[in-house]
Amino acid sequence: MAELFGDFLLVKRLARGAWSELWLAQPRYAEGVGHVVIKRLLPAMARRKDAIAMLEGEGRLASRLDHRHVVTSSAALVTDNGDWYLVQPHIRGTNLGKLLAYAAQVQVALPLQLRVYIAASAAHGISHAHSRHNPADGQHMAIIHRDLTPANLLVGLDGIVKITDFGIARGRGRKKLTSIGQVRGTLAYMAPEQAAGTKIDHRVDIYALGVVIWELLAGRRLYPDLPDFSVLSRIANEVPEAPSTFDDEVDSDLDAFVHRCLQKRPEDRFQSAADVCELLYDWLDDDVPTLQAALATWLAELAKNKRGQMTTLNT
């Protein structure tokens, strides 16, 4: 049974984390408006100043983004009962991590062209975030996502890929969530400087994107389920094998591209996500509408292998 929540009816819980949960919701008073996603603080967090500040900061950043490859958001809102939340668009599809796991389970390969298209879309989205200026005052927002992972890339059934979850993103005007020596994010996708808790900039997102692309190309996790100390050691010291080692369709250009993304020193990586995006689209040598339609068709075929529809998530 749907739960009443301010101006919304909560239809189905999609995900639950340590601080918040995501709900598929229906606006109560807007006829003809489809579902949205509500990200609300858990009851135990809704009275904590740090949790409220985190949600407000996420809303402040995400509400100022405007790009087809980024999930936007409302500013932080609060109900009459003191429940804090964000409103986000409902994306019919699933996250990249779940998609790749299911495709492997049913032994349906994602074509190389579409893997690179997903990577290019993610690079396009994070390039927008990195370059965004505040529409109100024109100041550069200096956004760093800090948690680019397959779980935070949504693949829509329409073939559009979007970056989501700016919950721990850093940006101008947002109170710092961590101090030097503290670490936030998903360890297996962290750049060496982020994992070490030292000073970071936007180039940690380029490294994380490199890990995601490596996994798309190689068809496996770069750092599978290992103890944290082992992952930290490998991030700091190990040069990953070329993706072509695991998939001979991957050419030397893609190997070299990923190798540069995964350089240990930030100055040795690509210096902007825009450069990453441009090179990937150059490699694809095809127009975006064609690639989007091809991904949508592939997803529709994949869905036939599964009882029911593709999982609908904003996670």
- Break the chain into its structural domains and give their ranges: 3-89, 93-303
Confidence of residue 276 (pLDDT cuts 50, 70, 90): very high
Q: Which structure tokens are listed for 111?
A: 């074509």
Grade residue 173 by pLDDT with cuts at 50, 70 and 90.
low
Question: What gap in Å lies between CA 160 and CA 98, rounded to an integer?
Answer: 16
> Tokens standing for 138?
């024109």
pLDDT of residue 176: 61
* Confidence label for 314 from pLDDT (cuts 50, 70 and 90): very low
Share of the chain above pLDDT 90, in %: 74
The pTM of the full predicted model, rounded to 2 decimals, is 0.91
In this prediction, residue 135 has a pLDDT band, given cuts at 50, 70 and 90, of confident
| Whether pLDDT at 165 is above 70 | yes
What sign does the CA torsion over 261, 267, 268, 273 have? Answer: positive
12 contact partners, CB below 8 Å, separation of at least 6: 23, 24
Higher pLDDT, 262 or 309: 262
What is the average pLDDT value for the chain, to the nearest integer? 90
Question: Within 106-191, where are the H helices?
Answer: 112-131
pLDDT digits 0-9 by tens, 195-230: 999 999 999 999 999 999 999 999 999 998 788 889
Q: Pick the closest to residue 25 from 85, 108, 96 (CA basis).
A: 85
Record the tokens describing residue 275, joined without a space: 């450069």
What's the distance, Cα to Cα, between the start and end of the chain in Å?
Answer: 23
Q: Which CATH superfamily is domain 3-89 in?
A: Phosphorylase Kinase; domain 1 (3.30.200.20)
- pLDDT tens digits for 11-63? 999 989 889 999 999 998 766 678 999 999 999 898 899 999 999 999 999 99
Predicted pLDDT of residue 312: 43
Sheet holding 161-163, edge to edge: 93-95, 153-156, 161-163
Residue 315: per-residue pLDDT:
38
What are the residue numbers of the active site? 147
Find out whether 209 and 276 touch, Cβ atoms under 8 Å.
yes
CA distance 314 to 88: 9
DSSP 170: B
Question: Rounded to an integer, what distance in angstroms lies between the CA atom of residue 60 and that of residue 174?
Answer: 8
* Gap between the Cα atoms of 231 and 183, Å rounded: 14
CATH class, domain 93-303, is mainly alpha
Q: What pLDDT is attached to residue 147?
A: 95
Q: What is the rounded radius of gyration, in angstroms, for the C-alpha atoms of the chain?
A: 19
What's the token pair of residue 107? 């032994």
Q: Are 239 and 222 in contact (CB under 8 A)?
A: no
| pLDDT confidence of residue 311 | 47
Q: What pLDDT does 45 receive?
A: 92
The pLDDT assigned to 17 comes to: 86
Residue 178 — pLDDT band, cuts 50, 70, 90? Answer: low
Cα dihedral 30/33/39/45 (nearest 10): 10
CA distance 259 to 2: 49
User: What SS3 state is found at 25?
Assistant: strand
What's the pLDDT score for residue 295?
97
Q: Does the fold of domain 93-303 match that of domain 3-89?
A: no
Residue 134 has a pLDDT of: 86
